[in-house]
Amino acid sequence: MSSVAVSRLIIPVLGLGMIVSFASSYYLLGVLAEPLAAGVGATPGAVFSALSGAFLVSAVLSPFGGRWIDRRGGREVLSAAGVIFALALTLLGLARDPVVMVAGVLMLGAGMGVGLYGPAYAVLVALHGEAAKKPITAVSLVGAFGGALGWPLTLLMIETVGWRGACFVWAGAHVVLCLPLYWAVLPDGRAGGRPPASGRVQWDGTMIRLAVLFAGAWWVATAMSAHLPRLLTRLGLSAAEAALAAGLMAGAAIAVRLIALAPGRGSPVAAARAATLLHPLGALIAFVGGKGAAG
């Protein structure tokens, strides 16, 4: 395969990696928590407590992941994260007691800390520099299918091969699908590429406001990613309907990214304001309207 053909595969490969990574970690327990809890003799609350710990592990490891990307490049970090995800999912699939379950969920947090969008974007910045904005948006567009497909696919797996089988299938997707593609298509970050930016972040007023904004947005988004399908079942939807409806939220994220790719798109600030307002509006509609509005 020519180098031109390989370069054209970079965005699809990164996007596929993000779909599998998000679906098998960030969105996984939205539908897997209850059968997992029953299978290991725990409560769903214990599973979600472990998930909270996983998100904390992810946050603590994120700076390390950034330094690792700077030193070794995105391909190596993505590949290592894929191995971590596969091991965590295998551990979950083998879990027979709450202790092993907690260990598996915390290991998922380690994978999330180093293996979600950060290394994928680093690959694109190394290749494109300041022109990386559109490729990054394209990868985030494909990666948004991690929610749109993740919840329904995981539910389908649970119904066909059981929750343990679902863990093993996602682990296999990392090893059999993502890892070979990373090494066949992605450039070696140590060979050429652009040097990492030097200097420290200037914590002025604008940066502090941005940090508060994005921390709050991710706090809400993370909580919803973990609980949305279960919340929708409490409104009267079946498990399948809830997974499908939850996936529609990811579909809206895909639509926003398509708008961002279109010429003459609006200001990112305006998009952030609209998103901030639409989220509580959607929650209010579902709360007032019940089952019909939630779907």
What is the model's pTM?
Answer: 0.81
Q: What is the pLDDT along the chain (295 residues), one digit of tens a residue?
A: 555 556 788 999 999 999 999 999 988 998 899 999 999 999 999 999 999 999 999 989 988 888 888 888 888 999 999 999 999 999 999 999 999 999 999 999 999 999 888 888 888 888 888 788 888 888 887 877 777 788 889 999 999 999 999 999 999 999 999 999 999 898 876 544 444 554 566 788 888 888 888 888 777 777 776 777 777 777 777 777 777 766 666 666 666 666 665 665 556 677 677 767 777 777 677 667 665 555 5
Number of residues assigned to the chain: 295
Domains of the chain: 3-195+205-294 (1.20.1250.20)
Residue whose pair of structure tokens reads 């939630």 in the numeric block: 294
